[in-house]
Structure 1
Amino acid sequence: MSLRPRSGVQVPPLTAQVARASNPRGTTAMWVRDRLDGLWRDEDFDAWYPRDGRPGLSPALLATVSVLQS
């Protein structure tokens, strides 16, 4: 597997607007994104992945999920 960094991917503005309009108090997923986004970047893990092969899962996303599971 290889790493294709996805850091810096933003939620489209219209999607964010609709999410906030339909959930004014927010949701758990919105809270996690607002507070933990940017804590890890895919580039922080690039030495762990070979340069060729099929794309692997985002290591930053995997790190976040691992922390939330503990």
Structure 2
Amino acid sequence: LDELPVDEQMAARIVTEANDAFKLNMHLFEELEGSLIKAIGRMVFNSLIRRRNRPERTVATAAE
């Protein structure tokens, strides 16, 4: 790749395309991060609800 002839115009196009790709990737990861946070929140909420709805267990001790 170092040997390829690249003029100033081609270099500018390459940089522009790389910047556009970077921006698209950043937007994608921002969306994924939001989805991950939402999924984690849902899991925590469901876990708390399940614990709350479970009947309490009583443990018999040797003294009883």
In the superposition, the TM-score normalised over structure 1's length comes to 0.23
- Radius of gyration: which is bigger? 2
Pick 1 or 2: higher relative contact order, CA cutoff 8 A, min separation 6.
1
